Structure 1
Amino acid sequence: MSPQQTVGVTPPRAMTIAGTDSGGGAGIAADLRTFTACGVHGCLAVCAVTVQNSVGVTGVHEIPPQTVAAQIASVAGDIGLDAVKTGMLAGPEIIEAVAAACDENGIGAGRRTPLVIDPVAASMHGDQLLADSALEKFRTLLFPRATVITPNLDEVRLLIGIDVHDRAAQYEAAKVLHGLGPRYVLVKGGHLREDIDGCVDLLYDGHSFTELPGPRFDTGNTHGGGDSMAAAIAAGLARGMTEPEAVAFGKRYILEAVRHSYPLGAGHGPVSPLWAIREWWNEGEART
């Protein structure tokens, strides 16, 4: 008997350029889970290896910038990429290498491969994770190349000095960030404590604003939420959605991922992609 033919069809391809999380809750682990849940093949370029669990980060080992760039070029030149997103980029030299690699491989706004920038610059508690020199590289090198940027409010404060406490400041921040060059700005509202019952993310394209409301959940299990939302937006772009469609897709994804988040370890548990893997999830429920 001859071997059977396989029936797989190549899905859209997206890359995450970010750091690892040994606890599996955020970073590249969260991005790859999200890509799979959203029907996209995930590729990766590792920028840093972290020693991390649900309680916090106790060690970081940066990957040489030339190795980060080589990972991007290797995949883009062979497999091809339909979207790219960045996460924790560790330092200014890596940001420079990523920007150059994007130019060399057709990645970024106005090029064949859209680029989502999640400017990971603050911890879950709002503490600054990157040196000021790295923040400046985000502003001058990556934002002008970005299709969509997705800062939370702590990152807004670090990047442009606006401390957002109300909707008016959220609108103002979106305008200032757009002036730095990205095609679309998504100012996430999850840290806006004045929004007691809901969570409004704000999308701005330089001309018009779109509010994306959603419920606020009473949970501390939100580790990897920002990574996962940006990855879902990149997955939407890889699947051919427009930017507003992809952002709305990402909003729907993260809403359910937070709704289905679970406890893990002694600290903050992760948001969950398992709700989107419907066939497996339904079988699991049937067995319990």
Structure 2
Amino acid sequence: MANPHPYVYFGDQIVAAEAATLGVASSAVLYGLSVYTVFPVHVDAGAASPAPTAFRLDDHYRRLEESCKIIGIDQFTQEWDFGRFRTAVSTLIAQNAPRTDVFVRATVHVVESIPGTRVRGCAIAVSMFVYDAVPIVPQDGMRLKSSPWRRIPDNAIPSRAKVNGAYVNSVLAKQDAIDSGYDDCVFLDGNGHVCELSAANIFLVRNGTLITPDVSCDILDGINRRTVLTLATEDGIPVVERTVDLTELYIADEVFVTGTSSGAAPVVEVDGRLVADGIPGPISQSLRKRHHAALRTDDVHGWVTELTA
């Protein structure tokens, strides 16, 4: 388990981690009414004066903004802009002074006490904490199990909004996979089509073409997913976004997943069936290297933001 670094951002200030608490009567606790994003911060420990950099920070801010808009948390955009967000992240990183790569989880909580099941005009608090950048899935070859739990559809709780309470769905599916001896799950929708993992997007390669469920397939429109699609296109790899059947994973040449906390991780088995010969394939390995590099240094796309307090 990854523990937060000593200092966190909460209530518009930096406080000790144990001092950042939410009231038991708040909407965030009663209903899981919070939205969040997680992004990596790279620290070059070998540099004389390491300048931490955040990956696609503006996109992560925008995802928080969009998640709030979908759910109806209207106070966030009234109180926060990207400049304030960047300053808070920079101050938090400077206070913790990490010497290795870390993840930052930024969350907008609805902290109104016992408001009932409503959200408009309710008070919010923003929290951010830092923890070691340890992947949540194996990086040398994952084993996946299709889940008996179905992905929550867009007309119930939208997957494109990262709502804390909705992750009960992911917990049920991943715990089933773990209990069955697998690393993670493959979510299917109500029609049996592939969506994503418990907390990562999924890709397959078939006859040299990179295929992934499109954004209307009850998936998170992942920032790392978009990154890999861009890198693949630049490398001349044909890309298709469409509906994917479960059995396509069984006969794929390659399968891999992406996510901030997953990286770009290869899959070697799905439902007891080896993916090809059970060895990570060349396209997934190439994109994995490109993705890893993009997280740290990017002079082309403007994806890397230097954090200065």
Identify whether the pair has TM-score above 0.5, normalized to the shorter chain.
Answer: no
Q: TM-score, normalised by structure 1?
A: 0.27
Q: Which has a greater percent of strand?
A: 2
Q: Which has a greater percent of helix?
A: 1
Q: TM-score, normalised by structure 2?
A: 0.26
Flag the structure with more relative contact order, 1 or 2, with Cα contacts below 8 A and sequence separation at least 6: 2
Larger-Rg structure: 2
